[in-house]
């Protein structure tokens, strides 16, 4: 099957936070604890005023960079980043207690529907580090749907992740997905925009912090307030 074309098949790549699930403030709190431990950096109201806590659609390394680079300097940041991310993952694992992860409306039924469709290959496209992604997906048992993906541990630049996911899909199932046979599903403007260079389809859902109006301004191929209507969402993704 190596090198086979998509032939009506779809590679469907899901974002995690705000799209598949919510972990509340767990990730934010884990990042703040890691930055205090690794850089001695603490949150102040001034950081909030500077808009530094808009994490939507960003990779974990990018979030850390935006938070502390200005305060700690480039050299200290580069040296401390690996340890900061490791502490973050340790804190994330410690704080992800039962009940802290909530699936978004309709997402469980939608994943079941997509996983049962022979024409669909499911994967992840997320700014989470891979270990962090798997930790978040474990409580609702969503890891079973996603055998591969592209992660913030692959690149700090969200816009470089779609080609990585496409290559991993080929390695996984032997199909070459391109253009509109690739569908990116997410809740942020970055999810909508990051696949444009590949000409992919974008399906936006307003179950994160970004409004329907803001998402619509990015001109996704389809847009939903939620995936509560499973059949309509399924049809928009696989059409």
Instruction: Read off the pTM.
Output: 0.93
What is the residue whose two structure tokens read 């990018």? 62
- Residue range(s) in the chain whose domain bears CATH number 1.10.150: 26-95
Burial 64-81 (b: 16+ CB within 10 A, else e): bbbbbeeebeeeebeebb
φ, ψ for residue 45 (rounded to 5)?
-55, -25
Structure tokens at 40: 């001695």
Contact between residue 156 and residue 59 where contact means Cβ atoms under 8 Å apart? yes
Three-state SS for 53? coil
Which pLDDT score, from 0 to 100, does residue 97 have? 87
pLDDT value at residue 170: 97
pLDDT of 6 reads 62
The pLDDT, as a whole number, for residue 2 is: 41
Domain 26-95 has CATH 1.10.3470: no
Contact indicator for 49, 221 with CB cutoff of 8 Å: no
Residue 18 tokens, joined: 């705000």
Taking CA atoms, 119 is separated from 6, 108, 186, 227, in Å, by 9, 19, 20, 20
Q: Which CATH fold would you assign to the domain 4-23+101-238?
A: Rossmann fold (3.40.50)
* CATH 3.40.50.1000, the chain: domain bounds: 4-23+101-238
The Cβ of residue 213 has, within 10 Å, a number of other Cβ atoms equal to: 9
Separation CA 33–CA 135 (nearest Å): 18
In the block, tokens 């690996």 appear at 82
pLDDT tens for the chain, 239 residues long, are 345 556 789 999 999 999 999 998 999 899 999 999 999 998 777 666 555 567 888 999 999 999 999 899 999 999 999 999 999 999 999 999 889 999 999 999 999 999 999 999 999 999 999 999 999 999 999 999 999 999 999 999 999 999 999 999 999 999 999 999 999 999 999 999 999 999 999 999 999 999 999 999 999 999 999 999 999 999 999 98
């Amino acid at each position: 099957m190596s090198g086979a074309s998509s032939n009506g098949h779809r590679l469907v790549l899901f974002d995690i936070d705000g799209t598949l699930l919510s972990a509340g403030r767990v990730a934010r709190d884990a990042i703040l604890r890691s930055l205090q431990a690794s850089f001695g950096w603490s949150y102040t109201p001034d950081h909030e005023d500077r808009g530094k806590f808009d994490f939507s659609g960003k990779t974990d390394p990018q979030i850390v960079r935006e938070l502390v680079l200005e305060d700690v300097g480039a050299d200290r940041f580069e040296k401390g980043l690996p340890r900061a991310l490791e502490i973050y993952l340790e804190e994330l694992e410690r704080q992800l207690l039962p009940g802290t992860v909530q699936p978004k409306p309709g997402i469980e039924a939608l994943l079941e529907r997509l996983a049962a469709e022979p024409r669909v290959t499911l994967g992840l496209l997320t700014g989470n580090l891979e270990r962090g992604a798997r930790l978040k997906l474990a409580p609702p048992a969503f890891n079973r749907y996603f055998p591969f993906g592209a992660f913030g541990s692959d690149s700090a630049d969200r816009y470089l992740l779609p080609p990585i996911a496409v290559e991993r899909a080929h390695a996984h199932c032997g199909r070459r997905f391109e253009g509109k046979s690739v569908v990116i599903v997410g809740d942020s403007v970055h999810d909508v925009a990051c696949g444009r260079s590949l000409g992919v389809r974008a399906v936006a859902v307003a179950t994160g912090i970004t409004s329907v109006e803001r998402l619509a301004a990015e001109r996704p191929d389809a847009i939903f307030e939620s995936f509560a209507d499973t059949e309509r969402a399924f049809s928009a993704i696989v059409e």
